[in-house]
Structures are given as structure tokens and as C-alpha cells.
């Protein structure tokens, strides 16, 4: 166990964690930030996606100690003063989820993706999002939600 | 089911409506669709309703959320309770105001006397007291054609909780004194523990080791320490020899259980009809075990207070899990409370309380609340599977396309959807239960997916054998109006009559009737590089009676189609000698973005029929429609699910 | 509780049954013997007999 300082959603968080502990485990079990989900632990499903310095990463394969001091954004950090992030709005509008368990990861992947690709084609959306699993099979609506979010961001 | 309104509906003084149901929400959208139905009959806004679901201390007993039963059974139950409650409210106001109930109207959560212009909210009228009255035997239900809230695309009532990550699934819950539990898994199925050394694990500060028979588990204040303790345990297991995929289908046919044999369904004589038939076919179809792989793995938080046990867990059957826990710990069921947070899906895979029992066992030993979350590997290995099966069909038809003989044997996969909706004068249909080599249980649509794959593939084979169009052949042998209607609707929208198959484009159709719903599915596939199958387009028509929420229903149908792609094309559990060989998403392929086709859905919305469930039946036409499409492009008939786990076979069937 | 179970539900329950439990605790056996003679055994046997009847090839 060693102390680590993480910069999560703009706030410094000090935690004691094992040196081999994943960021996912620290977020969920030590900081009680459970919006980020465990789905597989092997970087295959994307449920645990968070942003590190704006880029989507799989928190289950990222050691917490590796990202000390870097800017970490989780699903809890998207909403500001009760106002949803455009990507959240788009997912809600399209109702692009069923059980909702993949949704945090889908939204974080989308936020990271649109930051680098503001005008994605449908193929680009599918290719980028292919690392995220929605076992309920909501993919066509998620594609629509991503496209809608891109459009909303351009209008803002 | 309780007959008094108060068991189902409560109205508080500030006019908030609480509805109690033992059903659970796991993505199928019933938290919203049931609230809509109560709103419709009680005449209140959907937003004023809070649904209490799957809490064994607070909701009426319920067998579970499975079998597409919520819409046909719980919907009418709540509608009747709500309509009866409205009657009671009107009668109470009438009495209070000394007017005739017929002079009063109930709308938007209040009762109004249009003459005197008096008005009172339900809450003010009842002062939060219980609605003491029995549900009427013929309650004044709103006719479906007059629905204003039911039948409309009301958004998911708690959608915001999901897009913000605020919703707490079982694994997200915590308790201040909670420990994290981990179970030591045997090296194979049916294993017995032959040696165990837990000293190293026990020497880690704060670690508790639980050993009870073949059950070994640890608990610690944080998950990292619990995992370290688990790795420190040295155990040896003895695993008996067991079958593998290689001998699966011969094993199933050789291990039919004699003890329980359903009587075969026999009409006429198949043998006699076959001797007169112009065309005779005999084929075998197989399906592998597949995994539900819900994205939320099994999880539970268990707490003992004296001899009372409380468990939060994601299950489809909270009351059955309550009884399972009572059995496991030899306490009476009323000492156990099970609560089900809205769950990260199940698809038939969360009927049991395995994680709940494990968490409770560790918590009992630790004397503290314990949270246990299965890993993906545990989920793939220690849950249960959609049954594998072998299906043998013998059939005969006349040259004009009349089917005269139909013999159908299903080994192990199950009897759901085993019958044929087509008119056949001579039939023999039989299900043969088997001692399954792997733990198996229910899966979305049960065996209807396998039985429809076999039947609807075979129908395509028969159509080709008598040189008829596959749709015309079906319609020629089909009387059922609702099934004919979905076939026509899907075919029209798909452009079935104008299809132009080629070596790289194939088109297929399939359909059926199951759980009160009628479905027809058309699929277009592309053969890429002579080897890979891509489903490009799916058109599906679905009739489940009147639609309660078209937005949610479309989501369910689309999801059923996409999930069906996995079992149709590539999902299979690989196993050998009591071990699962591919218990990871990297080795067990599920449908992803790239696999999802363009999907068009036609809702028949039969408002003259009773409402039926929609979670399962939309899945059953996909595999045969795709198989038939592959045949139309390539001439290769694929009779085993999954059809192309490693791409198309090179040899022609 | 049986009065809740209509015929459709009974069929649905049989069709949806899952193969046996994952765990049998020693705790069980100890308490099992403790409870001999207080009626619980009869109840458990009945459960087993029913589940036998509904077959092992559950789906």
C-alpha cells in the first residue's frame, strides 16, 4: 500500500492503494465512484472507459499509480451544475441503452472520440466504438446518439 | 396474487403514487411500461409514479421476471388494481360531497365535480391512508383504442440515472463495514477438494478465510487484498473425466433421461405419409452451448443482522432467491429479504442466487456485510448455459408444395417452440430430455431459437426441393392469419419479390409464433472475400397485440435481433473435461458495432388483441433467416449453430 | 404460496428451471441433522422429489 494522488474530475484525491492496483478498482472500491463499470478486466468490453488527459482508456488495464497527477475524467465529471454533457443528452434523447450497464463506457468513449473526430462518418463511429460491448444490442441507436452528439457539439 | 388494491398501489398525502411489483427491471423497460399502464388507469401523470420492484419485504410474491410474462400478466394486474383504485377514489369523493359518483371525473391525480367546481387531489382525499378495497372482478378498464399514456413512446422513467452513472447496480452498492469477498473456484466442474493450504492467505492482515466443505472463500477490507489472499491459497482438486465439444452431439443422443419423457405429439402417420410423398428430406441440426454474458456480472451485497439476512443482488427471481437463501442457511424465508436493484441485464441467465448465497456464506463467517462481484471468467464458467441440442427432422411434401409429413425430435435443447405452425396432416414431435454435461438453464426465448432455426431452415430446404419460392411455400401451408400477416408485412418492406441473389448477396426469410407473439424476419447477407458473412439488412415484423411503449418495444426487438446474431454466427462455449476453454470476451465473440446490420422494424400494433411480451420472440427468426440467406448466395446449407464461427466452410453441402 | 401458481406459470417454471445448486455447505449438513424430527426433512424431500419429477435436462 502506498499513497497516490489522483486528479479526478478536477479534484485532487489522495488514496492508499496497492502498487499493482488498477485505476478501475481505485475509482470504484476506494473512491466510491461507481459510475465506471467492471465488465471484463481484459480491456475487451469498454465498460470501464475513462478519459486520461482527454483520451479514452480502459481503466481496468491502467494502473492507478501510472496516472497519478494526470487529468482523469469519469462519467461523474461530465455533468455541470445539473446540465448534462451533449453526449449524455444525445444518449438520453435516442434512448441508446436498455439495461444501461455499458452506457458510462459508451459515453466516455464517445466524448474522447468526438474530441479528436468532430465530424465522424457512420463507419468511423462504428470502427471507433467497436471496442465497447452492448450486450443488449443497442448498437444502431448508439451510432445515432454519437452522430447526434457530434451535431449538437458543432451547433454549440 | 393479493386481491387488495393496497398491496399494489399506495397514494401519499402529497399525491405521490407508489406501485409495488415483484417484477424486476433489467433493461426490458418494464419500470416505464408498467408505470404507463398504471398512469393510464389511475388517471395520474407517469412522473407521479414510483415503482417499487423486486423487494421481497415490500412487493407481492412473484414467481419471477421471465417467459415474456410481465406484459400479459403483471400489466393487466396493475391496470385492474389502478382502475379499481380510481373507482374507490371517485366513490369516496362522492360520499364526502354527497353527490352521485357519475357526476365526478378523475383526471391528473384529482377528482372534480364539474357542477359545483369542487376539486380535490387523490392524496388530500385519502390523507395517505391505505386504499382499502378488493380489486374489482370487472374493473372499468380504459379500452385500448382510448389509451392516451399507454401506447405512447414515454421516455425511460429513470433514463437520466443511467447516462450520469448515478444508477446503483448491485455491484455499486456499499456498506460502511463491508468486506470484499472472493471465492476460490475449483479447477473444473464436479471437482472435489483434495488438499488445501490457507496459511499464507490467513497471515495477510485483515484477511478472513472461509472453508466449508468444497467451498473456500476469502474476505478483506478492500478488493485488492481479497484478490491477493485468494492467490495465496494453495488447493488441489480432483476433477472427473467429462465430455468435450468434440463428442457433444453423440453424447446428447446417448444420454436421454428415461425418467422424464414428455409424451410425443402425434397426428396421423408420418411413416405412411412419407411413403406417398413426392419429396422426402431427412436432416440433422445442432446448436452449441452459449453464454448469456450479461455485461453486469453476478454480484451481491449480503448482511446478517442476528439471524435476519438482507441481500441485494441482480436476479430475475427475487422470491426464489429468497427461498434459495433460506434453504442454504436453514432459516425461514421470512428472515430473508432480497432486493433487486435494476440489473445490468440477464437474458434468462440470472434465475439463480449463486452470488447471493456465496456472499451470505462469507458474511456469516466474517460477521460483517460482504460484497461479492463475479469476474468475467467466473461469469462465463460458473453461471449456466443455453442448452446445446440435436434436432432431427424427417419431412415429406407433394410436388405442389403441400407438406404431408413432419417428424421432429429435439434432444436436450428444450420443447419451447417445438411445434409447427404449418398445416401438416401427419406429425410426430418429441422432446428428449438429456443429462446435460454442462450446467444449463433458461436463455432468452429458451429452445424456441433452436427449434425455429431447425424448422425454418428445413422449410427452406423443402421449398427448394419442390422448386417453390420460400415465402410462397410457407403461405401455402399456413392458415394462421396473424402469422401470415407478419410474413407479408416483412416481405413487402424487405422487397422480397424483387430480390436478386448473387454469389455475394443472399436473401432469406423465416418466422414463427411463440409466447403469444408473431414474428417474421427477412435477412440480407453479403459474402465478403468468399469467406466472411456480413448481415447487411434485417427487416422484422412483430405482432405482440397492442403496443404499450413503441420506443421501448423497438429497442427490445432490435436488441433481440442483434443478440440473435451472436448465436447464429459465432457464439459457442468451448469445453473439455469439466473446463471452459474460452471464458473471456477475447475468446468468446459477442456481437459488436461492426456486426449490427441496418434494422427495420414493423410493429403490427394489434389493438384488438391482448398485449403480449416482447423480450424473446423477436430473436427466433434471425438465425434461420440468415442461414437461408447464406444458402441463397452460396448454395451452402449450414445446419449447425453457430454457423460460421471460423468463416464459411469451403465444401458445399 | 401454491395458490399463486396457475397452470401457465407452472409450465413456465418447469421450462425455465436451472440445473442444481453450485454449493452445498457443511453448514447444511450440520443443521440438517439438527433439524431431523422437526418436519423440515419432509419438506426438503418433497422439494427434491418435485425437482426430480421435472427432470434434469432443464432448459
CATH classification at residue A29: 3.10.20.30
Which residues, 6 or more positions from A11, have their beta carbon under 8 angstroms from its beta carbon? none
Q: How far apart are CA B135 and CA B263, in angstroms?
A: 40
Shared-domain flag, residues A39 and A103: no
Query: Averaged over B536-564, what is the pLDDT?
Result: 98
Shared-domain flag, residues A47 and A6: yes
Instruction: Say whether B212 and C27 touch across the interface (CB within 8 A).
Output: yes
Gyration radius of chain A's alpha carbons: 15
pLDDT at residue B377 is higher than 80: yes
Query: Averaged over A123-135, what is the pLDDT?
Result: 98
pLDDT at residue C33 is higher than 50: no
Is A107 a member of any domain?
yes
CB pairs under 8 A between B and C: 116
Closest chain C residue by Cα to residue B328: C28
Helix, strand, coil content of chain A in percent (nearest 5): 40, 20, 40
- What is the number of alpha carbons within 13 Å of residue A55 lying toward its C-beta? 5
- Overall number of domains in chain A: 2
For chain B, what percent of residues have pLDDT higher than 90?
98
CA distance C27 to chain B (A): 7
Residue B243's pLDDT band (cuts 50, 70, 90) = very high
Is A61 a member of any domain?
yes
Q: Quick check: B307 contacting C, CB < 8 Å?
A: no
Strand (E) or helix (H) holding B537: strand B532-543
Question: How confident is the model over B249-299, as pLDDT tens digits?
Answer: 999 999 999 766 678 999 999 999 999 999 999 999 999 999 999 999 999
Shared-domain flag, residues A36 and A90: no
Q: How far apart are CA B494 and CA B228, in angstroms?
A: 56
Q: How far, in Å, are A108, B333, B518, C58 from residue B483 at the CA level?
A: 43, 44, 6, 29
pLDDT at residue C52 is higher than 50: no
Which residues, 6 or more positions from B258, have their beta carbon under 8 angstroms from its beta carbon? none
Structural domains of chain B, with CATH = 5-163 (3.30.365.10), 171-239+298-373 (3.30.365.10), 255-289+385-641 (3.30.365.10)
Distance of CA B334 to the CA centre of its chain: 28
Range of the domain at A33: 2-76
Sign, Cα dihedral of C39, C41, C42, C44:
positive
What letter would DSSP give residue B385?
B
Q: Quick check: B442 contacting C, CB < 8 Å?
A: yes
**Final residue in a domain of this structure, among A16, A48, A76:** A76
CA distance A66 to chain B (A): 17
Residue B33's pLDDT band (cuts 50, 70, 90) = very high
Do residues B328 and C25 make contact, with C-beta atoms less than 8 angstroms apart? yes
Q: Quick check: C50 contacting B, CB < 8 Å?
A: no
Sign, Cα dihedral of B470, B475, B480, B486:
positive
Is A8 a member of any domain?
yes
Distance of CA A34 to the CA centre of its chain: 12
Residue C5's pLDDT band (cuts 50, 70, 90) = low
Question: How confident is the model over B285-294, as pLDDT tens digits?
Answer: 999 999 999 9
Average pLDDT, chain B: 97
Shared-domain flag, residues A21 and A67: yes
Instruction: Say whether B324 and C21 touch across the interface (CB within 8 A).
Output: yes
Bridge partners (DSSP) of residue B641 are B287
Of B453, B454, B605, nearest to B521 by C-alpha is B453
What is the per-residue pLDDT for B261? Answer: 67
What is the per-residue pLDDT for C24? Answer: 82
Question: How confident is the model over B622-645, as pLDDT tens digits?
Answer: 999 999 999 999 999 999 999 999
Residue C37's pLDDT band (cuts 50, 70, 90) = very low
Q: Quick check: B312 contacting C, CB < 8 Å?
A: no
For chain B, what percent of residues have pLDDT higher than 70?
99
Q: How far apart are CA B175 and CA B312, in angstroms?
A: 11
Q: How far, in Å, are B379, B520, B536, B540 from residue B600 at the CA level?
A: 33, 12, 11, 6
Query: Averaged over B57-70, what is the pLDDT?
Result: 97
Is A81 a member of any domain?
no
For chain C, what percent of residues have pLDDT higher than 90?
5
Instruction: Say whether B594 and A143 touch across the interface (CB within 8 A).
Output: no
Closest chain C residue by Cα to residue B382: C22
Query: Averaged over B232-237, what is the pLDDT?
Result: 98
Sign, Cα dihedral of B273, B276, B280, B282:
positive
Query: Averaged over B507-531, what is the pLDDT?
Result: 97
Which residues, 6 or more positions from B33, have their beta carbon under 8 angstroms from its beta carbon? B71, B75, B150, B548, B549, B552
Q: How far apart are CA B69 and CA B335, in angstroms?
A: 28
In terms of Cβ atoms closer than 10 Å to its own Cβ (0-12, 13-18, 19+), residue B630 is buried
Residue B200's pLDDT band (cuts 50, 70, 90) = very high
Which residues, 6 or more positions from B567, have their beta carbon under 8 angstroms from its beta carbon? B287, B290, B386, B449, B623, B641, B642
Do residues A87 and A118 make contact, with C-beta atoms less than 8 angstroms apart? no
Of B503, B543, B453, B483, nearest to B636 by C-alpha is B503
- What is the number of alpha carbons within 13 Å of residue B159 lying toward its C-beta? 20
Query: Averaged over B138-147, what is the pLDDT?
Result: 96
Bridge partners (DSSP) of residue B432 are B411
Shared-domain flag, residues A93 and A112: yes
Q: How far, in Å, are A47, B374, B520 from residue B257 at the CA level?
A: 42, 32, 34
Is A122 a member of any domain?
yes
Query: Averaged over B535-545, what is the pLDDT?
Result: 98
Q: How far, in Å, are A100, A117, B488, B511, B613 from residue B518 at the CA level?
A: 28, 42, 12, 8, 11
pLDDT at residue B140 is higher than 50: yes
What is the per-residue pLDDT for B419? Answer: 97
Do residues B158 and B206 make contact, with C-beta atoms less than 8 angstroms apart? no
Shared-domain flag, residues A122 and A151: yes
**Final residue in a domain of this structure, among A76, A102, A133:** A76
Which residues, 6 or more positions from C50, have their beta carbon under 8 angstroms from its beta carbon? none
Shared-domain flag, residues A68 and A97: no
Do residues B231 and B566 make contact, with C-beta atoms less than 8 angstroms apart? no
Q: How far apart are CA C17 and CA C11, in angstroms?
A: 10
Instruction: Say whether C25 and B415 touch across the interface (CB within 8 A).
Output: no
In terms of Cβ atoms closer than 10 Å to its own Cβ (0-12, 13-18, 19+), residue B401 is buried
Shared-domain flag, residues A70 and A95: no
Residue B86's pLDDT band (cuts 50, 70, 90) = very high
What is the per-residue pLDDT for A66? Answer: 96
Shared-domain flag, residues A6 and A69: yes
Residue B326's pLDDT band (cuts 50, 70, 90) = very high
What is the per-residue pLDDT for A91? Answer: 98
Shared-domain flag, residues A90 and A70: no
Instruction: Say whether B329 and C59 touch across the interface (CB within 8 A).
Output: no
Among C16, C35, C52, the residue with its CB nearest the CB of B442 is C16
Please spell the DSSP secondary structure of C1-59, one letter per residue: -GGG--HHHHHHHHHT-----S---HHHHHHHHHTTTTTHHHHHHHHHHHHHHT-S---
Neighbours of B112 (CB within 10 A): 17
With cell 448534462, the residue in question is A84
Residue B453's pLDDT band (cuts 50, 70, 90) = very high
**Final residue in a domain of this structure, among A76, A109, A126:** A76
Question: How confident is the model over B482-512, as pLDDT tens digits?
Answer: 999 999 999 999 999 999 999 999 999 999 9
ipTM confidence: 0.98
With cell 436473401, the residue in question is B507
Q: How far apart are CA C52 and CA B259, in angstroms?
A: 9
Is A127 a member of any domain?
yes
Q: How far apart are CA B552 and CA B342, in angstroms?
A: 16
What is the per-residue pLDDT for B135? Answer: 97
Instruction: Say whether C23 and B361 touch across the interface (CB within 8 A).
Output: yes
Please spell the DSSP secondary structure of B66-111, one letter per residue: -TT-IIIIIHHHHHHHHHHHHHHHHHHHHHHHTS-GGGEEEETTEE
How many residues make up chain C in this entry?
Answer: 59
- What is the number of alpha carbons within 13 Å of residue B320 lying toward its C-beta? 22
| pTM for the predicted model, two decimal places | 0.95
Question: How confident is the model over B347-376, as pLDDT tens digits?
Answer: 999 999 999 999 999 999 999 999 999 999
Of B8, B131, B29, nearest to B77 by C-alpha is B8
Is A58 a member of any domain?
yes
In chain A the first and final C-alpha atoms are separated, in Å, by: 45
CATH number where A90 lies: 1.10.150.120
pLDDT at residue B568 is higher than 50: yes
Bridge partners (DSSP) of residue B427 are B267, B406
What is the per-residue pLDDT for A119? Answer: 96
Partners of residue B361 in chain C, C-beta under 8 Å: 23, 25, 27
Instruction: Say whether A107 and B163 touch across the interface (CB within 8 A).
Output: yes
pLDDT at residue B553 is higher than 80: yes
What is the per-residue pLDDT for C26? Answer: 78
Instruction: Say whether C58 and B441 touch across the interface (CB within 8 A).
Output: yes
B535: left (phi over 0), alpha (psi -120 to 50) or beta: beta
Query: Averaged over B526-547, what is the pLDDT?
Result: 97
Shared-domain flag, residues A114 and A132: yes
Shared-domain flag, residues A142 and A94: yes
Amino acid at each position: 500500500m502506498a499513497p497516490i494522488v489522483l486528479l479526478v474530475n478536477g479534484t485532487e484525491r489522495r488514496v492508499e492503494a496497492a502498487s499493482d492496483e488498477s485505476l478501475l478498482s481505485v475509482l470504484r472500491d476506494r473512491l466510491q465512484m461507481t459510475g465506471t463499470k467492471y465488465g471484463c478486466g481484459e480491456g475487451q468490453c469498454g465498460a470501464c472507459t475513462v478519459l486520461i488527459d482527454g483520451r479514452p482508456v480502459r481503466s481496468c488495464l491502467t494502473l492507478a499509480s501510472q496516472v497519478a497527477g494526470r487529468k482523469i475524467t469519469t462519467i461523474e465529471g461530465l455533468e455541470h451544475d445539473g446540465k448534462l454533457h451533449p453526449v449524455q443528452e444525445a444518449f438520453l434523447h435516442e434512448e441508446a441503452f436498455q439495461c444501461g450497464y455499458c452506457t458510462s463506457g459508451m459515453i466516455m468513449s464517445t466524448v474522447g472520440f468526438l474530441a479528436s473526430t468532430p465530424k465522424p462518418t457512420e463507419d468511423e463511429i462504428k470502427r471507433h466504438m467497436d471496442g465497447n460491448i452492448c450486450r443488449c444490442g443497442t448498437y444502431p441507436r448508439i451510432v445515432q446518439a454519437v452522430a447526434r452528439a457530434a451535431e449538437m457539439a458543432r451547433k454549440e | 396474487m393479493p386481491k387488495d388494491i393496497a398491496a399494489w398501489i399506495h397514494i401519499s398525502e402529497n399525491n405521490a403514487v407508489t406501485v409495488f411489483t415483484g417484477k424486476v427491471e433489467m433493461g426490458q423497460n418494464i419500470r416505464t411500461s408498467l408505470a404507463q399502464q398504471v398512469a393510464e388507469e389511475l388517471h395520474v401523470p407517469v412522473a407521479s409514479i414510483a415503482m417499487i420492484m423486486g423487494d421481497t419485504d415490500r412487493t407481492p410474491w412473484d414467481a419471477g421476471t421471465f417467459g415474456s410474462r410481465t406484459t400479459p400478466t403483471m400489466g393487466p394486474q396493475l391496470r385492474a388494481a389502478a382502475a379499481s383504485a380510481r373507482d374507490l377514489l371517485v366513490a369516496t369523493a362522492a360520499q364526502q360531497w354527497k353527490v352521485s359518483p357519475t357526476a365526478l371525473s378523475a383526471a391528473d391525480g384529482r377528482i372534480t365535480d364539474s357542477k359545483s367546481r369542487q376539486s380535490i387531489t387523490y392524496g388530500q382525499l385519502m390523507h395517505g391512508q391505505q386504499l382499502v378495497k378488493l380489486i374489482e372482478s370487472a374493473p372499468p378498464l380504459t379500452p385500448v383504442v382510448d389509451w392516451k399514456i399507454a401506447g405512447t413512446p414515454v421516455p425511460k422513467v429513470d433514463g437520466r440515472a443511467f447516462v450520469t452513472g448515478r444508477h446503483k447496480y448491485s455491484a455499486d452498492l456499499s456498506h460502511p463495514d463491508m468486506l470484499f469477498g472472493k471465492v476460490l473456484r475449483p479447477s473444473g466442474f464436479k471437482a472435489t477438494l483434495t488438499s488445501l493450504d490457507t496459511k499464507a492467505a490467513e497471515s495477510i492482515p485483515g484477511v478472513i478465510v472461509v472453508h466449508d466443505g468444497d467451498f473456500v472463500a476469502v474476505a478483506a477490507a478492500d478488493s485488492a487484498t481479497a484478490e491477493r489472499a485468494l492467490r495465496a491459497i494453495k488447493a488441489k482438486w480432483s476433477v472427473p473425466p467429462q465430455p468435450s465439444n468434440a463428442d457433444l452431439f453423440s453424447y446428447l443422443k446417448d444420454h436421454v433421461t428415461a425418467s422424464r419423457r414428455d409424451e410425443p405429439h402425434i397426428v396421423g402417420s408420418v411413416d405412411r405419409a412419407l411413403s406417398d410423398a413426392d419429396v422426402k428430406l431427412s436432416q440433422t441440426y445442432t446448436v452449441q452451448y452459449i453464454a448469456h454474458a450479461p455485461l453486469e456480472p453476478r454480484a451481491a451485497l449480503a448482511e446478517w443482522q442476528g439471524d435476519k439476512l438482507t441481500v441485494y443482488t441482480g436476479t430475475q427471481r427475487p422470491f426464489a432467491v429468497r427461498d434459495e437463501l433460506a434453504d442454504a442457511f436453514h432459516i425461514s424465508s421470512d428472515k430473508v429479504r432480497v432486493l433487486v436493484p435494476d440489473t445490468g441485464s440477464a437474458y434468462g441467465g440470472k434465475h439463480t442466487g449463486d452470488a447471493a448465497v456465496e456472499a451470505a456464506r462469507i458474511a456469516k463467517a466474517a460477521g460483517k456485510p460482504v460484497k461479492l462481484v463475479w469476474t468475467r471468467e467466473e461469469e462465463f464458467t460458473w453461471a449456466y448455459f443455453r442448452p446445446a441440442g440435436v434436432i432431427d427432422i424427417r419431412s415429406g411434401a407433394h410436388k405442389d408444395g403441400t407438406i404431408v409429413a413432419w417428424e421432429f425430435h429435439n434432444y436436450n435443447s428444450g420443447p419451447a417452440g417445438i411445434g409447427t405452425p404449418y398445416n401438416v396432416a401427419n406429425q410426430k414431435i418429441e422432446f428428449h430430455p438429456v443429462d446435460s454435461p454442462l450446467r444449463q438453464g433458461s436463455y432468452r426465448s429458451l429452445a424456441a431459437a433452436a427449434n425455429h432455426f431447425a424448422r425454418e431452415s428445413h422449410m427452406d430446404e423443402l421449398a427448394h426441393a419442390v422448386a417453390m419460392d420460400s415465402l410462397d411455400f410457407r403461405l401455402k401451408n399456413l392458415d394462421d392469419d396473424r402469422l401470415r400477416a407478419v410474413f407479408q408485412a416483412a416481405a413487402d418492406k424487405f422487397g422480397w419479390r424483387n430480390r436478386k441473389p448473387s454469389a455475394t448477396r443472399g436473401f432469406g426469410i423465416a418466422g414463427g409464433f411463440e409466447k403469444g407473439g408473431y414474428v417474421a424476419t427477412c435477412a440480407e447477407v453479403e459474402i465478403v472475400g468468399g469467406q466472411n458473412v456480413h448481415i447487411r439488412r434485417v427487416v422484422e415484423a412483430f405482432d405482440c397485440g397492442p403496443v404499450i411503449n413503441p420506443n421501448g418495444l423497438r429497442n427490445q426487438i432490435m436488441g433481440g435481433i442483434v443478440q440473435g446474431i451472436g448465436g447464429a454466427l459465432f457464439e459457442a462455449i468451448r469445453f473439455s473435461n469439466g473446463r471452459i476453454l474460452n471464458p473471456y470476451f477475447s475468446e468468446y465473440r459477442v456481437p459488436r458495432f461492426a456486426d449490427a446490420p441496418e434494422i427495420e422494424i414493423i410493429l403490427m400494433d394489434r389493438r384488438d388483441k391482448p398485449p403480449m411480451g416482447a423480450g424473446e420472440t423477436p430473436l427466433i427468426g434471425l438465425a434461420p433467416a440468415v442461414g437461408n440467406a447464406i444458402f441463397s448466395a452460396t448454395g451452402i446449407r449450414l445446419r449447425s449453430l453457430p454457423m460460421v464461427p471460423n468463416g464459411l466452410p469451403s465444401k458445399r453441402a | 404460496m401454491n395458490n399463486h401458481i396457475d397452470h401457465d406459470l407452472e409450465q413456465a417454471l418447469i421450462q425455465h428451471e436451472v440445473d442444481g445448486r453450485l454449493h452445498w455447505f457443511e453448514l447444511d449438513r450440520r443443521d440438517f441433522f439438527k433439524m431431523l424430527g422437526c418436519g423440515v426433512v419432509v419438506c426438503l424431500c418433497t422439494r427434491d422429489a418435485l425437482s426430480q419429477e421435472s427432470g434434469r435436462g432443464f432448459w
